Structure 1
């Protein structure tokens, strides 16, 4: 098949997940706060981003509330669905060129850590609602573990893709064969570890992203106490050694959870939309502005929109994780 389009290619629609169950958010208060942040995202996508947003609600109890929030908002379609967790990037299908087909991998709850009813059927639901036939792939894979340049090159991490909690016995050669057939991959660029305490086992969309053919972005530490500084620098070296021009994006710096452990917050979880790039921020205004400036240098024709994602992050991801594009 032809390679998966790059995220900056035009979209016919953007799927976004809506927080629909209290359990993943440790209660209603955080769930509502996450909904408020995602509402801002959806309105930005449907406005300056000029996306047709398909907002997937994972429970009947939350459907009416979502419909009320977006009543009369142009370009937003509220879709009733079923899922346990909100991360459509990982549970949904990966759309091919022109959205003529989509690859549906098996999903096992991020290596068996978070198995929730309905998540294994999200790809089927999105395929049916979008009118896209699915190509079944007999391998466990999450969309956030891969990034595509549109020309057949895929970025990923060994920590995730070769983890035996996904596919027992996988090697780099096995992955190349599977992704070549399923996603048109001609080359896989292997990075090492992802961010500390990332429950996804190092998804690449928190670590490194293509921003143009031959150009990849990765973080640079913000502050002397950034817990991922060495990981960022190793990533930059690996990308340069693989032949890419490297753009360094300032990280959000050190963020701690209620137990004093580092949180895997990342500006790299930005979402490339039609006409815009939406960047998650986490309360550090200076770091956010620096990330905005860096991304503006590689996306000069798109508006760079900063939006808060602190509540969304408590669920385990950010804007890229909750979304999945349908290429035009």
Structure 2
């Protein structure tokens, strides 16, 4: 039986990617110029992949933001309010349904009430839902997009550490999570991994920093094979073993682990697995580290029919996230026709 709703994999054809513009009222204030340049680099790379950008921006920032964008950039500025820019975790997800492509949302509570996310949690209902062909569906569950990874067959991946945080959904069992993911997202199978966590990760081990699907039965895993004495080595090796057990027919691509610290001496959760797939391109984070070149070579092996584009994300990881965390893709035929038209006519504003 075909499920009534099924979450689309990231490599489905896209008509836009959503971002939220960083400003002085977000966590980026200490690195604002550098971080904004990362956003501009990503927008340029996505436009080169024929992917326009829906850019959430606070009303007071619209005029200045326009001055930073090339006039011919395929960007639609969408004024709204938000706490911060981690759109992966509060932007709507898109499912295939009998009615068409269906936007859905979970509740976002700042990764288990670690941070104020009340404005973030309202963005879909107040702003983004109006841009979609079908009405937004809200699921009564605290969950984030970065905590979920799915392939074309409906196999969904997540992590125990994230889902078991009691400040998300109390003592909700993994069995009940599985039932909800099957019903709400059309998951045919759910694998919830026990191992794998990066030091400094506020999300409690989001899957998008650890394990990603490729087309043609492959998985990319953030390993630490290159650092046998690293504190992460044992846990990430156990994660690789879990992946092989859960996905025995899949080819495993292990990524090297960089070692980066901030000015305060804290280890930063730099992951090469936190990449974004968009229209036959894979935008991959690099961190100005010795491992960058090897990581990109492995990514090309994992996605042989895609163009691999390296994006310097060293400024992003200063706030303990990376490229995938700040983005949310919108599959083709999700948005209203007039919005799609606006997206493709150069920089404009709603």
**Band of TM-score, shorter chain:** over 0.9
| CA–CA distance in structure 2, aligned partners of residues 115 and 131 of structure 1 | 30
Deviation at 1:281, TM superposition (A): 1.0
Shift of 1:143: 0.3
1:43 aligned residue: 44
For 1:197, the equivalent position in structure 2 comes to 200
Q: CA RMSD in A?
A: 1.8
CA contact (8 A) 2:14 2:279 kept: yes
Kindly report which structure 2 residues correspond to 1:73-84, keeping only aligned pairs within 5 A, or say none.
73-84=72-83
Structural mapping, 1:142-221, within 5 Å? 142-192=144-194, 193-221=196-224
Q: Which position in structure 1 is the counterpart of 2:313?
A: 309
Cα gap change, 1:316 to 1:308, in 2 (>3 Å): same
| CA distance in structure 2 between the partners assigned to 1:115 and 1:213 by the alignment | 40
The residue that corresponds to 1:60 in the other structure is: 59
Deviation at 1:200, TM superposition (A): 0.5
CA distance 1:249–1:220, shift in 2 (3 Å): same
Distance 2:228 2:20 in 1: 35
Aligned to 2:88: 89
CA contact (8 A) 1:84 1:118 kept: yes
**1:140-179 alpha-carbon deviations (Å, 9 max, x no partner):** 0000001010221111000001221100121111101111
In 2, distance between residues paired with 1:104 and 1:243?
28
Seen in structure 2, the aligned counterparts of structure 1 residues 302 and 126 have a Cα distance that, compared at 3 Å, is: same
Q: Aligned pair count?
A: 323
What is the TM-score with the length of structure 2 in the denominator?
0.87
Moved more, 249-258 or 195-204: 249-258
Partner of 1:263: 268
Deviates more, 1:3-12 or 1:134-143: 3-12
The 3-state SS of whatever aligns with 1:294 is helix
Matched, 1:279 2:278: no
SS in 1 for 2:7: coil
- Write the distance in 1 (CA, Å) between the matches of 2:25 and 2:138: 31
Moved over 4 A (4+): none
* 2:109 and 2:117 in contact (8 A); partners too: no
Paired position in structure 1 for 2:124: 123
Q: Is the 8 A contact 2:220 2:302 kept in 1?
A: no
Structure 1 length-normalised TM: 0.93
Q: Structure 1: which 5+ runs fail to align?
A: none
Does the 8 Å CA contact 1:96/1:327 hold for their aligned counterparts?
no
CA contact (8 A) 1:20 1:86 kept: no
User: Does structure 1 retain, via aligned residues, the 8 Å contact 2:223–2:257?
Assistant: no
Give the superposition deviation at 1:23: 4.3
Residues in 1 aligned to 2:124 and 2:329: alpha-carbon distance in whole angstroms: 13
- TM superposition shift of 1:252: 4.1
The residue matched to 1:122 in structure 2 has which SS?
Answer: helix
